[in-house]
């Protein structure tokens, strides 16, 4: 019988221990390789520790210890330093999605009462018209590449200058650990969607984050020999905890992907051993593989080789890295496994990658759990399962049906503290006996593996793993005069989930038009809405209806009737 024992890795007590312990063990080894001003740079474990100390000293000196501070930029080592340093001085870090519109970013900075913000130059330019409407904002720190021109705003300071300031303070005897707070207090707020009206702020403590980091280290098989290319947005908890925090604690080196355009080129050149991805990437990689194979007229040959290779593996002979070297070389040649989460993945793709010599390890998580709930252990994978319940977490099924399916509920050290300034939502999120309701429907087998079969909440999971909240899109749609009522659903298709708007038009506003003209008018409104949204939230289909939606007594659309 197969079984799995989590790796014996001790828990850590603070972000300081996370940074110090890694620097002690891995020293001058590159933690990050990144591109800035078109040049490649490295950032070692020791440099990380030095920046972490200096930034903490500088934040204390500026009176920003214990304050709420927002953070928004593309991935860069400064981002991680800022994230950990704010927590390390007892503050609350608010990472924001850089794909949001400036007014939305400004809304989040405002409602979190952030007193400072870390921004890259791009985000600074976008947000600068809003700074005067944020009276609490005292400091704006520009991270990443140095801006081309001098910025004339006394609140602005460059990250590098702040680090230098911190180093001076340290040389004068400042204690960077002086303001560390209780690890069970609020340390991070992550927002679930794009508007302040519909978004919920997930409150995480330092304890939650560190619990999840160690949980992840115990469950995966990665070591200091691993090289990663990080392609997921850094504020995404899956990327943040798994790739940036856990893998750095294990001693890996991560190449920060500098652009979505360069993803495949970077993977080929950097030759990663492991990738942490959402299904969209694997679907695209699989499609690319087969497109190339077909173009070379070798589909039959490759399929026959896969069959033969799979049969050989059953006898203990593994020739995959030789037989499929052409395919593996497109991903650098060293890619050994891929950790995938965020959305369901077609098991056929897992089998394809497995046959070529790349092990796909599927997991399941949710922002409210920092995010890890379960993952398939490297040597004990179950196809179709979202994995074994993570070490230190308990999972149960609420009111199971005849098939054993019911809502998945969890309890453990990585479960969040509640929603920011939203007691009602927090109350709804937990059962009376303190278990978190995930909103996902599924069952758990005798080995404690989770199988997800549906969703209770309205959220649509895009294939890039990001959540799309129908309420947010409906808020935009309802602003259009031609739309009387709207509801957004995710329709399943062969290509994944299609975000579909169900529209009840206002025919008085539309005027006397044909059905085709009405459709075109509504679609042009939707295209305008889409232009202001990140691609994964684009509404790509509409269905026009002749009657109003059926509603509850409180005038809410009965979502369960939507088909």
**Residues in touch with other proteins (CB under 8 A):** 99, 122, 259-265, 280-281, 283-284, 287, 291, 463-464, 495-496, 498, 527, 530-531, 533-536, 538, 540-541
| Nearest distance from C-beta of residue 530 to other proteins, angstroms | 6
- Asked whether the beta carbons of 49 and 88 are under 8 A apart, the reply is no
Strands 68-72 and 116-120: parallel
| Nearest distance from C-beta of residue 535 to other proteins, angstroms | 5
> What's the sign of the alpha-carbon dihedral 510, 515, 519, 521?
negative
Name the strand (E) or helix (H) holding 202.
strand 201-205
Q: Is the Cβ of residue 284 or residue 453 nearer to other proteins in the bound state?
A: 284
Cα–chain center distance at 173: 38
Q: Is the Cβ of residue 112 or residue 230 nearer to other proteins in the bound state?
A: 230
Q: Is the Cβ of residue 411 or residue 538 nearer to other proteins in the bound state?
A: 538
SS3 sequence, 232-276? CCCCCHHHHHHHHHHHHHCCCEEEECCCHHHHHHHHHHHCCCEEE
Cα–chain center distance at 279: 12
In the DSSP assignment, the letter for residue 551 is B
Q: Is the Cβ of residue 18 or residue 502 nearer to other proteins in the bound state?
A: 502
| Nearest distance from C-beta of residue 493 to other proteins, angstroms | 9
> Quick one: tokens of 478?
């309802």
Q: Is the Cβ of residue 47 or residue 99 nearer to other proteins in the bound state?
A: 99
Q: Is the Cβ of residue 301 or residue 493 nearer to other proteins in the bound state?
A: 493
Q: Is the Cβ of residue 148 or residue 402 nearer to other proteins in the bound state?
A: 148
- Asked whether the beta carbons of 419 and 191 are under 8 A apart, the reply is no
| Nearest distance from C-beta of residue 129 to other proteins, angstroms | 17
Q: Is the Cβ of residue 279 or residue 387 nearer to other proteins in the bound state?
A: 279
| Nearest distance from C-beta of residue 186 to other proteins, angstroms | 32
| Nearest distance from C-beta of residue 292 to other proteins, angstroms | 11
Strands 483-493 and 496-505: antiparallel
How far are the Cα atoms of 482, 484, 488, 529, 546 from residue 524, in angstroms, in the given order?
11, 16, 17, 9, 20
Measured CA to CA, the distance from residue 499 to residue 406 in angstroms comes to: 26
Q: Hunting for tokens 């059926």 — which residue is that?
A: 550
| Nearest distance from C-beta of residue 521 to other proteins, angstroms | 14
| Nearest distance from C-beta of residue 284 to other proteins, angstroms | 5
């Amino acid at each position: 019988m197969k079984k799995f024992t989590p790796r014996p890795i001790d828990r850590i007590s603070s972000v300081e221990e996370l940074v110090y312990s890694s620097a002690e063990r891995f020293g001058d080894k590159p933690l990050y390789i990144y591109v800035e001003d078109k040049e490649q740079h490295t950032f070692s474990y020791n440099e990380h520790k030095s920046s972490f100390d200096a930034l903490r000293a500088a934040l204390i000196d500026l009176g920003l210890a214990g304050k709420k501070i927002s953070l928004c930029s593309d991935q860069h080592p400064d981002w991680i330093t800022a994230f950990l340093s704010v927590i390390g001085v007892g503050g609350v870090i608010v990472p924001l999605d850089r794909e949001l519109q400036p007014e939305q970013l400004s809304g989040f900075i405002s409602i979190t009462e952030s007193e400072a913000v870390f921004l890259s130059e791009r985000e600074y330019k976008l947000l600068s018209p809003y700074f005067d409407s944020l009276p609490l904002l005292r400091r704006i720190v520009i991270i990443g590449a140095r801006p081309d021109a001098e910025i004339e705003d006394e609140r602005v300071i460059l990250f590098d200058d702040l680090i230098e300031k911190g180093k001076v303070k340290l040389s004068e005897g400042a204690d960077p650990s002086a303001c560390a707070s209780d690890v069970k207090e609020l340390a991070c707020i992550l927002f679930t969607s794009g508007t302040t009206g519909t978004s919920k702020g997930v409150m995480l403590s330092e304890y939650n984050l560190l619990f999840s980091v160690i949980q992840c280290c115990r469950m995966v098989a990665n070591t200091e020999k691993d090289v990663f290319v990080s392609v997921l947005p850094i504020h995404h908890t899956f990327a943040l905890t798994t790739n940036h925090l856990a893998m750095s604690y294990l001693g890996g080196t991560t190449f920060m992907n500098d652009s979505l355009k360069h993803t495949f080129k970077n993977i080929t050149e950097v030759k990663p051993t492991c990738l942490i991805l959402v299904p969209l990437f694997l679907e695209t990689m699989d499609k690319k593989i087969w497109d190339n194979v077909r173009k070379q007229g070798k589909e039959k040959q490759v399929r026959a080789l896969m069959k033969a290779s799979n049969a050989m593996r059953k006898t203990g002979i593994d020739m995959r890295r030789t037989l499929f070297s052409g395919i593996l070389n497109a991903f650098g040649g060293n890619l050994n496994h891929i950790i995938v989460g965020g959305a369901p993945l077609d098991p056929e793709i897992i089998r394809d990658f497995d046959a070529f010599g790349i092990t796909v390890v599927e997991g399941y998580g949710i922002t409210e759990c920092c995010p890890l709930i379960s993952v398939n252990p490297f040597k004990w994978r179950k196809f179709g399962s979202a994995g074994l319940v993570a070490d230190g977490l308990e999972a149960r099924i609420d009111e199971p049906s005849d098939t054993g399916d019911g809502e998945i509920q969890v309890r453990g050290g990585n479960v969040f503290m509640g929603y920011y300034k939203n007691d009602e939502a927090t109350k709804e999120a937990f059962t009376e006996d303190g278990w978190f309701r995930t909103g996902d429907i599924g069952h758990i087998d005798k080995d404690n593996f989770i199988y997800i079969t549906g969703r209770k909440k309205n959220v649509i999971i895009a294939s890039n793993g990001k959540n799309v909240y129908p309420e947010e899109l409906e808020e935009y749609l309802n602003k259009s005069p031609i739309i009387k009522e709207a509801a957004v659903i995710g329709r399943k298709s062969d290509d994944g989930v299609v975000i579909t708007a169900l529209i009840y038009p206002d025919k008085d506003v539309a005027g006397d038009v044909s059905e085709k003209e009405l459709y075109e008018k509504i679609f042009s409104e939707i295209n305008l809405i889409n232009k202001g949204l990140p691609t994964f939230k684009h509404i790509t289909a509409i269905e026009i209806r002749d009657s109003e939606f059926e509603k509850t007594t409180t005038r809410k659309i009965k979502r369960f009737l939507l088909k």
